[in-house]
Amino acid sequence: MVKGLSNDHGAALAAAAMDAPFTSIDDAWRRSGVPAAALEKLADADAFASLGIDRRQALWRVRGLGGAPLPLFAAAEARANEPAVTLSPLTEGREVVEDYRAVQLSLRDHPVAFLRPMLDRRGIIPAADLWHAKDGDRIQVAGIVLVRQRPGAGNVTFLTLEDETGIANAIVWQRLFERQRRIILAAAMVSVHGRLQREGQVIHVIADRLEDLTPMLARVGDMRFPHRPGPGPADAAVNGGYDPREHPRPHQAALLAARDGGMRIRSRDFH
């Protein structure tokens, strides 16, 4: 599941780990024989958390590896002489964003959970609350777009949305599709305003209007949980006079260079 990790490198790591659990990143590198680039993919996916090394520290250590493993005693001496570096932890939201970048899921929290207070203020209900609504109720629901289905000869599009409580299914008829085609086909997160349709245990939302909430989703990386804002200018007093998002310390700059985007969600689309 780790983005960019080849099957061969994954198999080599798994085979080496069968002999004995890895004790460090250097140990995994030495015993598996995989290139450092493969270990960087694992660090991106937070795989070294099992060794008590968080994602940012793991990336820092992997990028400090040389071109080839040193002999055992030379490696131990190099580690002993390496200066200690303390990296500030990622926000809870950024950890979730990086999980999605690497494996398209997170075992920490659902991205929409960070946005729930904002959704509540807009009157957008959790997907789980659809079970308590009545047939014909006017509702608003929102979530990450998991699936888009548009039968070739049909005049309807089906959207499957996911929030932190479950799944919501929306039906978009052709007239609305033509009006809001870009949002329907491209948005990573949408809200659906419409009418609930219930037939036994099957629930759909017949959409009247959709709203692109992708910009809201992009804010998750700056958020703490539960629902605390990320570091801001006022934090300079406790962060040594700098905003860590805008002026990272030199040893953090390389780790943050490719981390300024939002959530990357890959939906399954059938057209």
Mean pLDDT for the stretch of residues 252-259: 37
Domain region containing 226: 121-271
Count of domains forming the chain: 2
DSSP state of 236: G
- 8 Å CB contact between 218 and 112: no
Asked if residue 247 and residue 183 are part of one domain, the reply reads: yes
Q: Is pLDDT of 144 > 90?
A: yes
The segment with the largest mean pLDDT, out of 6-20, 96-110, 218-232, is 6-20
- 8 Å CB contact between 43 and 59: yes
Check residue 148 and give its pLDDT: 95
Of residues 88 and 141, more confidently modeled = 141
Distance of alpha carbon 212 from alpha carbon 176, whole angstroms? 14
Asked if residue 80 and residue 131 are part of one domain, the reply reads: no
Give a yes or no: residue 54 inside a domain.
yes
With H, G, I as helix, E, B as strand and everything else as coil, classify residue 244: coil
Give a yes or no: residue 108 inside a domain.
no
CATH number at residue 161: 2.40.50.140
Determine how many CB atoms are found less than 10 A away from the CB of residue 175.
9
Asked if residue 82 and residue 126 are part of one domain, the reply reads: no
**Residue 79: band (very low, low, confident or very high) from pLDDT cuts 50, 70, 90:** low
Mean pLDDT for the stretch of residues 31-49: 93
**Mean pLDDT, the chain, as a whole number?**
81
**Domain final residue, candidates 87, 108, 139:** 87
* Encoded tokens for 60: 């820092």
* Encoded tokens for 222: 């700056």
With H, G, I as helix, E, B as strand and everything else as coil, classify residue 90: coil
The helix (H) or strand (E) run that includes residue 214 is helix 214-217
Give a yes or no: residue 63 inside a domain.
yes
Distance of alpha carbon 1 from alpha carbon 12, whole angstroms? 16
Distance of alpha carbon 181 from alpha carbon 188, whole angstroms? 13
**Residue 249: band (very low, low, confident or very high) from pLDDT cuts 50, 70, 90:** very low
